[in-house]
Copies of this chain bind each other. A is one copy, B any other.
Amino acid sequence: MGEFTHFNNRGEAVMVDVSEKKQTVREAIAAGTITMSRACFLKLAEGGMGKGDVLGVARIAGIMGAKKTSELIPLCHVLNLSKVELEFFLLEQECAVKAVCTVRTVGKTGVEMEALTGVSTALLTIYDMCKAVDKSMEIGNICLEKKTGGKSGIYQRQMESGEQ
């Protein structure tokens, strides 16, 4: 098992040295959901029909949020992202929106945090735009789905039984 890498041997936080690491293509895919009341979900789903495009705004927020990752997460390296994409899926049965964020870079560190930050910012923006209708919404299931590139190689999240 690995060790926490963001501390030096005195237990002090440090932005670790990646000078010697290779520049490779790295990709990460993260996902998460926001669950809401049926009434709120139906209103949001209508948005695509010209009544107010919640997901269009959340998509822009998520992309811009991914670019801000190194300002938000103290020990993250600054990375020049070469791609950010956000997809949304309406989960009708659960009255939920699933956000999936794909980030790519050519760099020395992975982009897991950028994909996770993109997802989180998009879901928070949905919350903001829907909160006048439903304050009890819940954001959850935020996790790394997949990661490629870099020394640690491929990571693929195990699907839980019954998971979508």
**Chain A interfacial positions (CB closer than 8 Å to B):** 1-8, 11-19, 25, 32, 39, 43, 47, 50-54, 56-57, 59-61, 63-65, 67-68, 70-87, 104-108, 112-113, 116-117, 120-121, 124-125, 127-133, 135-144, 147, 155, 157-158
Given contacts A133-B2, A143-B137, contact A11 B52 (CB under 8 A): yes
| B residues near A72, Cβ cutoff 8 Å | 61, 64-65, 68, 121, 124-125
* Residue contact B52 to A74, C-beta cutoff 8 Å: no
* Residue contact B140 to A141, C-beta cutoff 8 Å: yes
| B residues near A120, Cβ cutoff 8 Å | 120, 124, 139
Contact of A56 among B13, B76, B79, B105 (CB under 8 A): B13
| B residues near A143, Cβ cutoff 8 Å | 136-139
Contact of A83 among B12, B19, B155 (CB under 8 A): B19
Given contacts A12-B87, A87-B12, A112-B131, contact A139 B140 (CB under 8 A): yes
Which single residue of chain B is at the shortest CB-CB distance from A83?
Answer: B17
Least Cβ distance of A96 to chain B in Å? 12
Which single residue of chain B is at the shortest CB-CB distance from A107?
Answer: B80
Given contacts A51-B7, A85-B15, contact A67 B57 (CB under 8 A): no
20 contacts between A and B (CB under 8 A): A2-B132, A3-B133, A4-B52, A7-B51, A11-B50, A11-B51, A13-B60, A14-B83, A14-B85, A17-B104, A18-B82, A57-B60, A57-B74, A64-B71, A72-B125, A136-B143, A136-B157, A136-B158, A138-B141, A138-B143
